[in-house]
Chains A and B, each alone.
Chain A
């Protein structure tokens, strides 16, 4: 019965409605963008200047490299990989802990629901962005120049690179909490520190651990590379073996890095499951 009321038969609609997602002008500008991408791609391929001899040679070289890597030199693990790997893990962990000293106050300063002053936001943002805009390898080069090669340079490189990451994510987590609970605690006359501890912290805690563990996981991988510029850890061993063309030792180092990264991943996943 209802169909009689609601159906629109074809003869009813006399006007042809016109609909288009984009106007002609928009359409043309979209094609212009596609075209410029294409031109940019062609131009950049021409500037790369691939040397054809080396390029076609690549599969052969890869096969050769793997042949020289085999068999993996497992005895090399006890000789130097083990110790270097422990050092790498120490650099990652210490670096992450040192980061917190700077990242937590900066996150507070950057969270608009803790400090309302725009000055504080700009200052903290300046430090957070500069920390993030410099790669940890560059930080490592800097600190190797200052403190000389070794673990300290590695720890500081990791710490300075992570400040921006942890600080930014933590301040965003703080800004997302329910301010009602905080208001209620202020209404009880609680001192500022107590409001932070009982109002903010319980709400931020899961995000905090999640962010810190994630960064530690990244730092384990990054600290493996830092040795290449002399900042301690497995990277130094890797670099030395490569310079001596000891490919079987290189294979051992690579395998160790791979195993440790996987284990770090498993550890982080399990801790997070328990915390959240």
Chain B
């Protein structure tokens, strides 16, 4: 067997919301190892845009995103759906369907593998139902399976969000500011959970975050972005004050 191809390869990715004002100015990124990879950088620098380009919630302007031997940027229709279902995504605002039960929210992670007709009949396979309950157990919410999602607290909702993403059997996890709406303790628990699943499933988890110390604690590799380009890509230990200055600008905040 030859060496494994990378999980994800981004080449020369550019995105302009307004023509002539690029927010991503040519991103090159290769992800070939499992585990948490943190993306840090100031607000408005294109971290969310980058994450959302990977599963095409946002269409990129230029460049290639090679995932599962296909270019996500060119994919359409069924192929795009088949790529998307292998990419689990966790959102800052959890984005659960509030009026559905917790267990049904987890099961929606399987919709990419079902037809609309099966979805309407709630025709989930026994295997999927078992997995959903196991995942709920793994995130510590078995008691809430039948409750409505809007009865949960923020941290609990994010656990459901993670369970839904893992339910897809993804080959990569994306998380867009998954801890920014949570208190520090819950934030650490959520990161712990992401780390656990990426270890267990042997997949990378690309996580956008604000909190540098949290990134240092959980990520082996950190990507620093500033003004639409990658300014640092390397070991978490290599993040020095000098580099932080380069990423965020200024230095008063460091002390």
Q: Is the interface of A mostly helix, strand, loop or mixed?
A: helix
Q: What chain B residues lie within 8 Å of A180 (beta carbons)?
A: 91, 93-95
* With A186-B84, A188-B84 as contacts: A193 and B116 at CB distance below 8 Å: yes
The reply on B156 being an interface residue by CB < 8 A is no
Q: Report whether A188 and B91 are in contact in the complex, using a CB–CB cutoff of 8 Å.
A: no
Instruction: State in angstroms the CA–CA spacing of A203 and B114 once bound together.
Output: 21
Q: Give min CB distance, B67 to chain A, whole Å.
A: 12
Q: Are B116 and A186 in contact (CB under 8 A)?
A: no
Q: Which residues of A contact B63 (CB under 8 A)?
A: none
Among B94, B95, B111, contact of A191 (Cβ-Cβ < 8 Å): B111
Residues of A within 8 A of B84 (CB): 186-189
Report whether B57 and A190 are in contact in the complex, using a CB–CB cutoff of 8 Å.
Answer: no
Contact of A192 among B85, B100, B113, B116 (CB under 8 A): B116
Contact flag A187-B108 (CB < 8 Å), given A181-B98, A197-B120: no
- Closest CB-CB distance, A197 to chain B, in whole Å? 5
Q: Please state if B111 and A198 are interface contacts (CB–CB under 8 Å).
A: yes
Cross-chain contact of A188 among B96, B99, B115, B168 (Cβ < 8 A): B168
Evaluate contact between A188 and B83: CB separation under 8 angstroms. Answer: no
B176 to chain A, nearest CB (A): 10
Contact of A194 with B164 at beta-carbon distance under 8 Å, contacts A188-B112, A202-B100 already known: no
User: Least Cβ distance of A51 to chain B in Å?
Assistant: 60
Q: How far is the CB of B19 from chain A (nearest CB, A)?
A: 19
Q: Which of A183, A186, A189 has most B Cβ within 10 Å? A: A189
Contact of A232 with B by CB under 8 A: no
Q: Would you call B83 and A189 a contact (CB within 8 A)?
A: yes
- Restricting to A135-150, which residues have a CB under 8 Å from any CB of B? none
A193 to B98, CA, bound (A): 19
- Which of chain B's residues have a CB closer than 8 A to the CB of A190? 81, 108, 111-112, 114, 119
Residue B35 at the A interface, CB < 8 A?
Answer: no
A189: chain B residues within 8 A (beta carbon): 80-86, 111-113, 168
Chain B interface size band reads 35 or more
Residues of chain A lying within 8 A (CB to CB) of residue B80: 189
Residues of A within 8 A of B83 (CB): 189
CB atoms of B95 and A198 under 8 A apart:
no
Chain B CB count within 10 A is highest, among A181, A192, A193, A195, for A181
Q: Is A125 at the interface (CB under 8 A from chain B)?
A: no
Name the A residues within 8 Å of B114 (CB-CB). 190-191, 194
Inter-chain contact B109/A178, CB cutoff 8 Å: no
Chain B residues closer than 8 Å to A192, beta-carbon distance? 116
B108 touches A185 (CB 8 A): yes
Whether a CB of chain B sits under 8 angstroms from the CB of A199 is: yes
Q: Mark A169-188, 1 if CB is under 8 A from B, else 0.
A: 00000000010110111111
Residues of chain A within 8 A (CB-CB) of B116 are 191-194, 196-197
Asked whether B87 is an interface residue with its Cβ less than 8 Å from the other chain, the reply is yes
Q: Is the CB of B55 within 8 A of A187?
A: yes
Decide if A205 is an interface residue (CB 8 Å cutoff). Answer: yes
- Is B91 touching A197 in the complex (CB atoms < 8 A)? no
CA of A183 to CA of B92, assembled, Å? 12
Give CA–CA (A203, B113) in the complex, Å. Answer: 23
**A187 to B93, Cβ gap below 8 A?**
no
Give the shortest distance, in Å, between B48 (CB) and chain A (any CB). Answer: 12
User: Are B111 and A188 interface neighbours, CB within 8 A?
Assistant: yes
Give Cα A196 to B97, complex, Å: 12
Residue of A nearest to B107 (CB): A198
- CB pair B87–A187 under 8 Å, yes or no, is yes
Q: Which B residue sits closest to A179, measured CB to CB?
A: B95
Task: Give the shortest distance, in Å, between B174 (CB) and chain A (any CB).
Answer: 8
CB of B55 within 8 A of CB of A185, answer: no
What are the 5 closest A-B residue pairs judged by CB atoms, nearest first? A193-B116, A189-B112, A189-B85, A190-B111, A189-B84
Using a CB–CB cutoff of 8 Å, the interface residues on chain A facing chain B are 178, 180-181, 183-199, 202-203, 205
B contacts, CB < 8 Å to A: 55, 57, 80-87, 89, 91, 93-100, 104, 108-117, 119-120, 161, 164, 168
Interchain residue pairs with CB less than 8 A apart (22): A181-B97, A181-B98, A184-B91, A184-B97, A184-B164, A187-B57, A188-B109, A188-B164, A189-B84, A189-B86, A189-B112, A189-B113, A191-B111, A191-B119, A193-B119, A195-B111, A196-B116, A197-B119, A198-B104, A198-B111, A199-B97, A203-B98
**Given A191-B112, A198-B104; 9 other pairs, CB 8 A cutoff:** A181-B96, A184-B95, A185-B97, A189-B82, A189-B84, A190-B111, A193-B117, A198-B111, A203-B99
